[in-house]
Amino acid sequence: MDEWSVEFLRGILDAAPEGIVVCRAGQADQPVVYANGAFQRLTGYASDELIDQDLRRLQGSDREQEGRARLREAIASGQSCRALLRNYRKDGSQFWNEVEIQPLRNGDGAVTHIVGFHRDVGERERAGSRPAPGLPSWLREDRLSGLYSRAYFEELLQHDWQIGVREARPLTLLMFDIDELAVYNDTFGRPAGDACIRRVAGVIGASFKRGADVVARWEGGRIVALVRGADVAGVPAFAGSVARKVLDQHIHHPRASRQKFVTVSIGAASICPGADRAVEQLIQAATRALSRAKEAEEARIAIAEGEEIG
C-alpha cells in the first residue's frame, strides 16, 4: 500500500482494543480532538461529549491523586509518562485507568499533540482466576528499568509505615538520581538515555541484596530504595559504594560538568514512624537531602537531618 488515507488510519485506531485519545497541546486544558471507540466504551462518553473537552471530568471530584501530578509534569516538560488513576465513567462507576501518554512533535521539535493510551486494569484483574490484593502484577514492574514501579513502591511503603508505627521500627529511604540526564539525552538521544537508565537501575538494584529491601524507579532517572531497620551510620559508606559501582560502569558522558562518565547523586533519610508523622515526611526528607547532594561540589551524598526531617 503506497498511501494510507485519513479514513484508513482512523479505521485502524477505531479498531484498536484499548482506548486511544489525541489531545491538542499548547492549551491549558489539552482539549480532546479524537477519541476512538474503545475509549468511548471504556468511559461511557460519546465522541461528541469528548471532542473539545478536557479529560478532567474522568476524575470527578477525586482530584488529589499522585498520578495526576505526574501526568501534569510530563505534559509540561514534553515527556512520555505512565500513571495509574482512579477514573469515573459517565454513569459514576469507578475504574482503575492505566494511562500512558506520548508527545507528538512537528518538524521543529515542538509538541503539537499528546496521545493517550487508556486501559481498564481493574477488568484485567477480575478476569484472573483469583484476584490478588493491591496492584495487578503487571503494574508492579517498571517496564523501562525492570525494577518495581513507583505505584507498587508507594503501596509497599504505606504498608511498611503502618508496621513501623506499631513496632517502632525505623525506615530508611535512599534516592539515587542520574546526574545531568537531560544533557545525556540531548547528546545521544532518548533511546540512549533509556538504555542508560536501565543500566544504572541494574547496578543499583543489584546492590540491595536483602530480600526485605525494595528498589523501584521513581521517575525519569531517579531510583528509590526502601530499607527496613537500617543502621543510619552506615548509610553514607554504603551509598558511596553504590555511587562508585555506577561510575565504574564508565558510561561515557562527554558533556558532564564533573566526570566524563555517568554519575549519581544520593539523598537518604531515616525516620521512625509514629502516630504524629506521615509517610510523606520520609519522602520529602529524602528529596531535600538529594537536592542538597546535587548541589555539592565534592561527594554527592547527603543524609537528611534537622529541619529536613521535620
Strand, helix or coil for residue 105: strand
d(CA 175, CA 286): 7
Helix axes 190-207, 235-247, angle to 10 degrees: 140
- Edge-first strand order for the sheet with 81-88 is 32-35, 19-24, 111-120, 94-105, 81-88
With respect to residue 134, please indicate whether it lies within any of the assigned structural domains.
no
> Residue 162: which pLDDT band, with cuts at 50, 70 and 90?
confident
Strands 264-271 and 301-303: parallel
pLDDT tens by residue, 257-287? 888 999 999 999 999 888 788 899 999 999 9
Strands 214-219 and 222-228: antiparallel
Q: Are residues 153 and 262 in the same domain?
A: yes
Residue 107 sits at the vertex; the CA angle it makes with 189 and 55, to the nearest 5 degrees, is 85
Most confident option among 88-97, 175-184, 290-299: 175-184
d(CA 62, CA 171): 30
Strand partners, 214: 226
Number of domains in the chain: 2
With respect to residue 107, please indicate whether it lies within any of the assigned structural domains.
yes
Higher pLDDT pick, 38 / 2: 38
Q: Are residues 121 and 149 in the same domain?
A: no
Q: Are residues 215 and 258 in the same domain?
A: yes
Q: What is the pLDDT of residue 124?
A: 45
The answer, yes or no, to whether residue 211 has pLDDT greater than 80, is no
Q: Are residues 42 and 148 in the same domain?
A: no
The answer, yes or no, to whether residue 305 has pLDDT greater than 90, is no
Strands (E), the chain: 19-24, 32-35, 81-88, 94-105, 111-120, 171-178, 214-219, 222-228, 264-271, 301-303
Q: Which of 58-67, 128-137, 278-287 has the lowest mean pLDDT?
A: 128-137
Strand, helix or coil for residue 80: coil
Q: Are residues 146 and 112 in the same domain?
A: no
> Residue 93: which pLDDT band, with cuts at 50, 70 and 90?
confident
Q: What is the pLDDT of residue 251?
A: 95
Q: Are residues 95 and 11 in the same domain?
A: yes
Count Cα neighbours of 290 within 13 Å in the Cβ-side half-sphere.
Answer: 20
With respect to residue 133, please indicate whether it lies within any of the assigned structural domains.
no
With respect to residue 190, please indicate whether it lies within any of the assigned structural domains.
yes
Q: What is the pLDDT of residue 141?
A: 83
Q: Are residues 83 and 207 in the same domain?
A: no
Q: What is the mean pLDDT of residues 5-29?
A: 86
Phi, psi of 110 (to 5 degrees): -80, 140
> Residue 192: which pLDDT band, with cuts at 50, 70 and 90?
very high
Most confident option among 39-48, 90-99, 147-156, 290-299: 39-48
The answer, yes or no, to whether residue 82 has pLDDT greater than 70, is yes
With respect to residue 132, please indicate whether it lies within any of the assigned structural domains.
no
Q: Are residues 107 and 172 in the same domain?
A: no
Answer with the one of 80, 104, 127 that is the final residue of a domain.
Answer: 127
With respect to residue 175, please indicate whether it lies within any of the assigned structural domains.
yes
Q: Are residues 90 and 227 in the same domain?
A: no
- In this prediction the pTM is 0.59
Domain with 295 in it: what CATH number? 3.30.70.270
With respect to residue 135, please indicate whether it lies within any of the assigned structural domains.
no
Q: What is the mean pLDDT of residues 297-308?
A: 82
Q: Which segments of 78-135 does DSSP mark as H helices, in order?
A: 121-127
Closest CA to 204 of 235, 173, 244, 237: 244
Q: Are residues 123 and 206 in the same domain?
A: no
d(CA 148, CA 185): 23
Q: Which residue segment(s) compose the domain that 61 sits in?
A: 6-127
Percentage of the chain with pLDDT > 90? 47
The answer, yes or no, to whether residue 140 has pLDDT greater than 80, is no
Q: Show the 3-state SS of 214-263.
A: EEEEEECCEEEEEEECCCHHHHHHHHHHHHHHHHCCCCECCCCCCCCECC
Q: Are residues 120 and 144 in the same domain?
A: no
Q: Are residues 159 and 121 in the same domain?
A: no
Domain with 16 in it: what CATH number? 3.30.450.20
Answer with the one of 103, 127, 151 that is the final residue of a domain.
Answer: 127
Answer with the one of 71, 105, 127 that is the final residue of a domain.
Answer: 127
Higher pLDDT pick, 301 / 124: 301
With respect to residue 159, please indicate whether it lies within any of the assigned structural domains.
yes
d(CA 172, CA 210): 14
The answer, yes or no, to whether residue 122 has pLDDT greater than 70, is no
